[in-house]
């Protein structure tokens, strides 16, 4: 909003309605999507204990833990040191994007990079969930849960273009709450993994729901135990 005001040179362009709609989008659009993403994340952690242990060790190494065994995050920048956690969250969003598809329609006739011609108002469905599992985009190991693919050779967070990693949409249409979503997911994930251990209840059917938000169809049942 501040950028919009600076560019336009007029603060009245940002009306109360725009502020209201933006805040509504932040609060409500982010609530269900983050919940869905974290459900898939904890399922992946419970079924991939090697990755879970790496994340916990990263937390112990990089965050301050007091004498009572509780870590405190006082600055958002501290979360940037949790590189492996960031990679694990990105992998979760790649395989199970909270918004599994999107559709667009051009106002005027257009031609896609693939050569396909689109007439005005022709709806084109963009399957984010399928794109996250395409070998042409992610390589032969596209179906593997591999947080390392998000880590650079120097050990930092790898920059992946939004048109490849479409969990938050792409380009100018990218989600306004992307960074806030990462912050919330990292804080919750770090706190839970550090203090608790999950074991998935056997016999349950893990399936995605057929809905606007990619929730687990039957929810996730786990047994939770506090770490020593």
Instruction: Output the 3-class SS for the chain.
Output: CHHHHHHHCCHHHCCHHHHHHHHHHHHHHHHHHHHHHHHHHHHHHHHCHHHHHHHHHHHHHHCCECCCCCECCCCHHHHHHCHHHHHHHHHHHHHCCCCCCEEECCCCCEECCCCCEECCCCCEEECHHHHCCCHHHHCCCCCCCCHHHHECCCCCECCCCCCCCCECECHHHCCCCHHHHHHHHHHHHHHHHHHEEEEECCCCCCCECCCCCCCECCCCCEEEEECC
117 annotated as belonging to a binding site for a ligand? no
Residue set of the binding site: 175
Residue set of the binding site for heme: 175
């Amino acid at each position: 909003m501040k950028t919009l005001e600076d560019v336009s040179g007029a603060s009245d362009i940002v009306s109360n309605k725009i502020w209201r709609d933006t805040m509504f989008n932040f609060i409500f659009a982010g609530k269900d999507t983050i919940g869905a993403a974290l459900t898939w994340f904890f399922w992946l952690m419970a079924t991939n204990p090697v990755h879970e242990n790496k994340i916990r060790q990263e937390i112990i190494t990089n965050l301050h833990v007091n004498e009572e065994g509780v870590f405190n995050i006082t600055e958002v920048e501290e979360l940037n040191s949790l590189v492996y956690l960031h990679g694990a969250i990105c992998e979760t969003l790649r395989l199970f994007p909270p918004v599994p598809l999107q559709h667009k329609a051009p106002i005027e006739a257009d031609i896609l990079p693939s050569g396909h011609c689109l007439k005005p108002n022709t709806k084109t469905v963009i399957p984010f969930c399928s794109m996250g599992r395409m070998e042409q985009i992610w390589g032969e190991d596209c179906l593997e849960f591999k947080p390392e693919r998000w880590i650079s050779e120097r050990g930092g967070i790898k920059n992946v273009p939004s048109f490849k990693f479409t969990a938050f949409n792409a380009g100018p249409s990218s989600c306004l709450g992307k960074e806030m979503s990462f912050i919330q997911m990292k804080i919750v994930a770090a706190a839970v993994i550090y203090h608790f251990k999950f074991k998935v209840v056997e016999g349950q059917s893990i399936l995605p729901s057929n809905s606007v938000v990619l929730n687990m169809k039957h929810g996730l049942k786990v047994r939770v135990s506090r770490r020593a």
